[in-house]
Chain A
Amino acid sequence: MLSVQGNSLRLRLIAMAALWCTVALVVAWVVLSALFADQVRRGFDDRLAALLEGVVAASEWEEQEDASQTPSQTPSLRRPLPDPRFQQPLSGWYWQISDDSGPLLRSRSLWDGTLPKVDAQDRKDGRIFQDIVGPNGLPLRMAVQRLTLTGVKGAILFQLAGDSTASKADITRFDQLLAIALVVLGLGLIAAMVLQVQIGLRPLAQIGRSLAAIRAGRAEQLQGAFPSEIQPLADEIDTLLGHQAAVINRARGHAGDLAHALKTPLAVLGNEAAEVEGALGAQVRRQVVEMRRQVDRHMARARTAAAAGVLGARCEVRPVVDELARVLGRLHQDPGVEITIEGSVSEGGANVAFAGEREDLQEMLGNLMDNACQWAGGSVRIQISVRDGGLVIAVDDNGPGLPPERRAEVLARGGRLDESKPGSGLGLTIVADMAELYQGALGLGKSDLGGLSVRLTLPLAP
């Protein structure tokens, strides 16, 4: 799974590797190609030189008187050169013997052409090589040697040219083969580089997967041993996670301790005031109720605020509902309540889970289900479903229900369902507060069972 994004270590490493690899291979191609071309040329030149030696060795000179009274020597070959190409006209292989006045003797292959006159002055008795264009337009390589022979007047120029297209083709073919080989090598190197980067960066991918697992609530710590370069990072993340959990627990603990510490004195105060007749008693009773509601509400908020949106919180819904149904069945024995639970399994087969703390889900569902049980005429229904990527839990009862105009009032700040029922009456308000902290919502409606239908929408855990 090679995923390369704009700003990634993988991309940087691979791009750098590809760059230097390409540069190195291009340089290698240039150098090797030049070396080979030089080698081929040198070999060809050696061959020309050897043939030229043959021409020199086979040449014979005769004195001749011509019309101008000046004695001159006419060269001839004692024996023909073994290579038949010097006999075929325009074969691409030629030789020529000339003196300062012009050509004295030419190979048959030259037909009526001549090899260009060369100024080999600067290299006395030396041998030079030249690229020339032959009589029929072919590129030729020519070896030239200027010799002063005993008994021969003046310097004699020996020239021998050969067709160099074959060796040029050799060089081109070599260049092509070399290029192909180097490109293949380059691709191989880059592939090896990608593999190396993949293997080298695998621990990072593992950290990514572990973090995803933590976010999804399937793990609490990064798992596995990491390379020494990454281990400090992993340790640091684990420490942070542990610290976070500790902070949440402390915050919860503090909020809980404060609430517990206040509640017993409130109970004493309220019970004492119940005995007191008149305005004072009534006032204290009212204030005690108000204090309890404030404590309940703010404790729920404090605890939830500490936990909402925490990395990795996850809790399966069905076990919580089952547990609460069991407990409520015990708490509401007279009159008994029948609690039916529907749904819980998503299309994927995994149990539907809430992206949050188990205690908070328990608190929200506990309040909703308890409320439903108190008001129900014997039956309560819980439906767990997934809608639009969110978790929806509907709690329905067959009790008297709530007229539409009172629904908003109940959810509004501290509205009470009924003063006659026990408890602070804040159940629905607290649930609405908590749901809001989890970016969820609480909605009231009419149930098809006849009573109130409460729909709690919460974030779904992946």
Chain B
Amino acid sequence: MRLLVLEDDQDLARQLRAALTDAGYAVDVAHDGEEGHFLGDTEPYDAVILDLGLPTMDGITILQQWRRDGRDMPVLILTARDRWSDKVSGIDAGADDYLAKPFHVEEMLARIRALLRRAAGHASNEIQCGPLRLDIAASKVTLAGQNVSLTALEFRLLSYLMHHQGKVISRTELVEHLYEQDFDKDSNTIEVFVGRLRRKTQASLIETVRGLGYRLVVPSDDGRDDG
């Protein structure tokens, strides 16, 4: 899962990046409005954390332009402006949630998890796929009740596949959603990570669709065949 943080305060941006990276997300940070708007417009983020008082371009304007251009990723507004009039205009501009500064990091993480989960169409904080179970709140994956130990990138990959289980996901899409912007992207590394995940879980769960990408298969005996 790859997130964009638009925050002009350097210290707060650093804290956000640290907290979100710890929680297993790929994080891009922009400090001014125009750069942030451009990134959100061109990169496929899974969610955006948006400050309203930004230099060069106001947060509300950025959000309105994204929505007008059909960018529908979930957006959490994180701002010092906590009047209800600000909240109303933020939500009306297309925000999905609103968090006022100062805030608790855990609160912010919980809101982001909820946004990602809702965007993927899941109702609870646990996503299940056959014997695999992803606890979003705890950033933990279990296989038939057993803890699966994963690196940060392995977790991001599996988490993304589980959020979009049953759908075919291309390598490019995976690269775009797993790596930060300035990372040296190489789609071949995806194959390596998929191989590792197959070894750590069940090989049959992740199916290679030739020429298209990968798909997390929902076992039919689970009774939840929604593929």
Question: Which residues of A pack against B, CB within 8 Å?
Answer: 256, 259-272, 274, 288, 292, 296, 323-324, 326-327, 330-331, 333-334, 358-359, 362-363, 365-367, 422-423
Contact = CB atoms under 8 A, between A and B. Distances in A.
Interface of B: 9, 11-12, 15, 19, 53, 80-85, 87-88, 91-92, 96-98, 100-105, 107, 114, 118, 123
A331 B103 contact: no
A431 to B, nearest CB: 11
Contacts of A265: 9
A3 to B, nearest CB: 42
A362 B85 contact: yes
Nearest to B97: A331
Given A270-B103, A327-B91, 13 more contacts: A261-B80, A264-B12, A266-B101, A267-B80, A271-B12, A327-B88, A327-B92, A331-B87, A331-B91, A359-B84, A363-B85, A367-B84, A423-B100
Contacts of B103: 267, 270, 422
Among A261, A264, A423, the one with the most B-chain Cβ atoms within 10 Å of its Cβ is A264
Contacts of B9: 264-265, 268
Contacts of A296: 82
B103 to A, nearest CB: 6
Contacts of B102: 263-264, 266-267, 269-271, 288, 292
A54 to B, nearest CB: 110
A118 to B, nearest CB: 108
A286 to B, nearest CB: 13
Contact of B88 (A262, A292, A362): A362
Contact of A267 (B12, B53, B114): B12
Given A256-B81, A271-B15, A334-B118, A327 B87 contact: yes
29 contacts: A256-B81, A259-B80, A261-B80, A264-B80, A264-B101, A266-B102, A267-B12, A267-B80, A267-B101, A267-B102, A268-B15, A270-B102, A270-B103, A271-B19, A274-B104, A274-B105, A288-B102, A327-B92, A330-B91, A330-B96, A331-B91, A334-B114, A334-B123, A358-B85, A359-B83, A362-B83, A366-B87, A367-B84, A422-B107
A296 to B, nearest CB: 8
Contacts of B81: 256, 260
A363 B101 contact: no
A264 B103 CA distance: 9
B83 A363 contact: yes
Contact of A333 (B12, B84, B105, B118): B118
A341 B84 CA distance: 19
A362 B84 CA distance: 6
A262 B103 CA distance: 13
Contacts of A264: 9, 12, 80, 101-102
Contacts of B92: 327
A331 B84 contact: no
Nearest to B52: A260
Contact of B83 (A256, A324, A327, A423): A256
Nearest to A292: B102
A288 B84 CA distance: 22
A259 B105 CA distance: 20
Nearest to B87: A327
Contacts of B123: 334
Nearest to B91: A327
